[in-house]
Structure 1
Amino acid sequence: MNAYNFTFCGTACQALPTGALYLPDQRILCVSDLHLGKSDRIARRSGVMLPPYDVQATLEKLENDIAATRPETLICLGDSFDDLAAAESLDEDARLWLTRLQAGRRWIWIEGNHDPGPVDLVGDHLAQFQTGTLTFRHIATDAPAEVSGHYHPKHRLAGRSRPAFLYDSTRMILPAYGAYTGGLTSGAPDLRGLLGTNPVAILTGRKAIPVPLTETRRAARFPGRSW
């Protein structure tokens, strides 16, 4: 899977190259910020027409990750839908697709700031979820051992920006999983203010690649030097 294996707050983790987080010991797969129906919402509000393939592309990616990891529990970490109308206008094929993905496992919808709250879909609708030492919620707080989303972090390496996991010793922020999602650079004050010492970015793409952010800052200040 070209995943990156690491330990976070005593829990074994795998950062998948797709932007999903897998906890092998608990058999939990977590994805954040699917923003299903974003092309529909943009068309409704602005009249700008995007190819309406975001739902299909996102669910295809999720289906592949489920097939690869076979989780017992799947956590959607908030902003699973772009707004209430997007959730309500999800077509029957997409609803059936979601139902197939949910079959045989626990499915947890964490509330996000875009989410309409409980909708007519199977699963547990929660403000947060805790397992072992970890707490899963949409927006980061000051709590320790926290996994969150919301910010759609990205990180630039070798001139290319990619969606990225960001984590330190107490907090992890997942990248956006949805097909039509933007992102916030890892150096943005909102993100850097959340991270403590020795933060790491894990870049997504063909392979999950860890990059210490402290080394990135030094390389930017002293180009050409080897650390």
Structure 2
Amino acid sequence: MNAALLKTLEPARKSCGSLRVRIEGEPCVLRCSGALWVPAHKCLVAADLHLEKGSAFAARGQMLPPYDSRATLDRLEAEVAELEPRMVVLLGDSFHDTRSIGRMAADDLQRLHRLAFGREWLWLEGNHDREALNAAGDAASLLPGAVVPALSLGALRLTHEPEPGEQPGEVAGHLHPAAKVVAYSRGVRRPCFVTDGRRIVLPAFGAFTGGLNVRDPAIAGLFASPPMAAALGRDRVHALSWTSLV
């Protein structure tokens, strides 16, 4: 990792295995879960939950275990319990399709309300869930919190999909970045954060979400100079230089 990138990010290891960096000067913590913690604002950010993806596939005859929503909410609940955020922002594509909310189990909907109680809870619109979140009727009214298109938070600007060109402070999801490294003739592919200290793309938080290689032009093209990939390990976030990725 080059000296200029290190100076901008100021990466530091947290005792929990997370990695602290600076995005446009704002201290941020890259959590092992794939969530982003902004301590100055007590804000927890997670991207691309894709709740009810399993049931969406089942409706089309492709049988997947119907436990993705439960597993994803388990992870989100653990983050909320540990960090006690004042605000939770779900960065778009929280639901897999327009009918996901109606397919959610009552227990999962009740858990969302429990998690949101006493804190600000914001749903950003994503390309998968825009219609679901803004739908009229009982399904949309079952959700806690508010729906917003984007959000400013100090030096950060939270949005679902990264925008082209220089976007200082942008925090986005949508692309599901994943890093691949090869060692001892074996390849390892893991979800990752990717950042140059000016902007950051978060990994998908959902249990059934795939990943796009960070070297794909859709991701690499967002950065004027080689960024850092921060891959999710079992108990720590691994900072990887661009040259180590394949």
Return the TM-score normalized by structure 2.
Answer: 0.85
Are the aligned partners of 1:169 and 1:196 in contact in 2 as well (CA < 8 Å)?
no
The question of 1:89 aligning with 2:118 is answered no
- Shift of the alpha carbon at 1:180? 0.2
Residue of structure 1 in register with 2:30 after alignment? 15
The question of 1:31 aligning with 2:53 is answered no
CA RMSD of aligned residues (A): 1.2
Residue of structure 1 in register with 2:83 after alignment? 69
Distance 1:78 1:128 in 2: 10
Equivalent residue letter for 2:107: D
Are the aligned partners of 1:57 and 1:179 in contact in 2 as well (CA < 8 Å)?
yes
Distance 1:112 1:5 in 2: 27
Equivalent residue letter for 2:72: T
Local SS of the residue matching 2:75: helix
Among the aligned pairs, what percent are the same residue? 38
Distance 1:101 1:169 in 2: 30
Gaps of 5+ in 2: 1-15, 135-139
Within the candidate set 149, 157, 164, 2:192 is matched to 164
Are the aligned partners of 2:156 and 2:171 in contact in 1 as well (CA < 8 Å)?
yes
Are the aligned partners of 1:76 and 1:110 in contact in 2 as well (CA < 8 Å)?
yes
- Shift of the alpha carbon at 1:196? 2.1
Residue of structure 2 in register with 1:134 after alignment? 156
- Shift of the alpha carbon at 1:155? 0.2
Runs of 4+ displaced beyond 6 Å: none
The question of 1:117 aligning with 2:117 is answered no
Equivalent residue letter for 1:102: A
Deviates more, 1:28-37 or 1:191-200: 191-200
Are the aligned partners of 1:32 and 1:149 in contact in 2 as well (CA < 8 Å)?
yes
Are the aligned partners of 2:22 and 2:197 in contact in 1 as well (CA < 8 Å)?
no
Residue of structure 1 in register with 2:92 after alignment? 78
Distance 1:88 1:205 in 2: 34
**Superposition map of 1:98-109 within 5 A:** 98-109=112-123
